[in-house]
Amino acid sequence: MKRIVIFASGSGSNAENLINFFQKRGNVSVIQVLTNNPRAKVLDRCKKLKVSALSFNKTAFIETEHVLNILKSSKPDLIILAGFLWKFPELILKNFPNKVINIHPALLPKYGGKGMYGMHIHEAIVKNKEKETGITIHYVNEHYDEGAIIFQAKCNVLNSDTSDDIAKKINKLEMKHFPLVVEKLLNE
């Protein structure tokens, strides 16, 4: 049985999608969800799905080894960032080399970096009159959104699209592709 730990900061739609996908498969277990936001909706989703979830603060994540020790005891095969907004500490990355991945709601290297997440990206796509956008699944390194790209999926942006329209298109790509890419990585 392969083991996954998910980090999320917000609503947790990607986390819920992954949990549901792998509960049906039976060969992978989402053993825990960790969040830096004690009021994140992902905590409610985890409670409903009967998946262990914990929140932590910056001290536990960056200044001490508290979160690292939780991960070491969990022994995950893969750590997934799904809407997690903090930069990942080098100490954790060194302890889990090539085992931390992220999903980004744009076609990296465009629209990556600090502050580029969620609606900020979609608004920039509209403002810059981009003709396409998409998702990028990539390995996490010590820099925001600069790790090696694993997978990208694209969608067209119409002149009439609003940032909300783009968000819906991106969500469809995430729901479709993210679990399949994670499953493929775990089977390699």
Band (114; pLDDT cuts 50, 70, 90): confident
Amino acid in the structure at residue 26: G
The whole-number average pLDDT for the span 87-100 is 95
Per the residue annotation, which of 104, 122, 143, 177 is the catalytic one?
104
Average pLDDT over the chain, rounded to an integer = 95
Q: What is the pLDDT of residue 105?
A: 96
Q: What is the pLDDT of residue 37?
A: 95
The whole-number average pLDDT for the span 83-107 is 95
Q: At residue 115, does pLDDT exceed 90?
A: no
Q: What is the pLDDT of residue 188?
A: 87
Alpha helices in the chain (DSSP H): 13-25, 41-49, 58, 66-74, 90-95, 118-127, 163-187
Q: How many structural domains are present in the chain?
A: 1
The whole-number average pLDDT for the span 76-95 is 95
Q: At residue 26, does pLDDT exceed 90?
A: no
40-73: pLDDT as tens digits: 999 999 999 999 999 999 999 999 999 999 999 9
Active site residue 122: no
Query: What would the two tokens of residue 62 be?
Result: 């960056």
pTM of the model: 0.94
How does DSSP assign 58-71, residue by residue? HIIIIISSHHHHHH
Q: What is the pLDDT of residue 42?
A: 96
Query: What gap in Å lies between CA 102 and CA 139, rounded to an integer?
Result: 6
Query: What gap in Å lies between CA 66 and CA 1, rounded to an integer?
Result: 25
131-183: pLDDT as tens digits: 999 999 999 999 889 999 999 999 999 999 999 999 999 999 999 999 999 99
Residue 21 structural domain = 2-187
CATH number of residue 68's parent domain: 3.40.50.170
The whole-number average pLDDT for the span 100-112 is 97
Query: What gap in Å lies between CA 164 and CA 92, rounded to an integer?
Result: 34
Q: What is the pLDDT of residue 136?
A: 98
